Amino acid sequence: MTKIKVIYGSEWCGDCTRTKKYLDERGIPYAWIDTDSSAEGAKKIEELNKGGEEFQQ
């Protein structure tokens, strides 16, 4: 089984909230970084998306 360590997301993102719910229901540990309230999280998303601010689906 894959271990999820960090999830970068936003409360307004439906995919993000569904993922959190899925993990919570199964007791799978993760760290949540809200990219709307964390400048560091937003910067990481931009790095991962090569300058883009949107989440990859």
User: 9 forms bridges with which residues in the sheet?
Assistant: 34
Q: According to the model, what pLDDT value does residue 24 have? A: 95
Q: According to the model, what pLDDT value does residue 4 have? A: 73
SS3 26: helix
In a domain, 57, yes or no: no
What's the pTM? 0.68
Domain that holds residue 23: 6-48
Q: What's the count of helices (H) and strands (E) in the chain, helices before strands? A: 2, 2
Task: Give the up-direction half-sphere exposure of residue 42: CA atoms within 13 A in the CB hemisphere.
Answer: 6
| pLDDT < 50: residue spans in the chain | 57
Instruction: Calculate what percentage of the chain has a pLDDT beyond 70.
Output: 84
In a domain, 10, yes or no: yes
Q: Where are the alpha helices (DSSP H) in the chain?
A: 14-26, 39-48
- Please tell me the total count of domains within the chain: 1
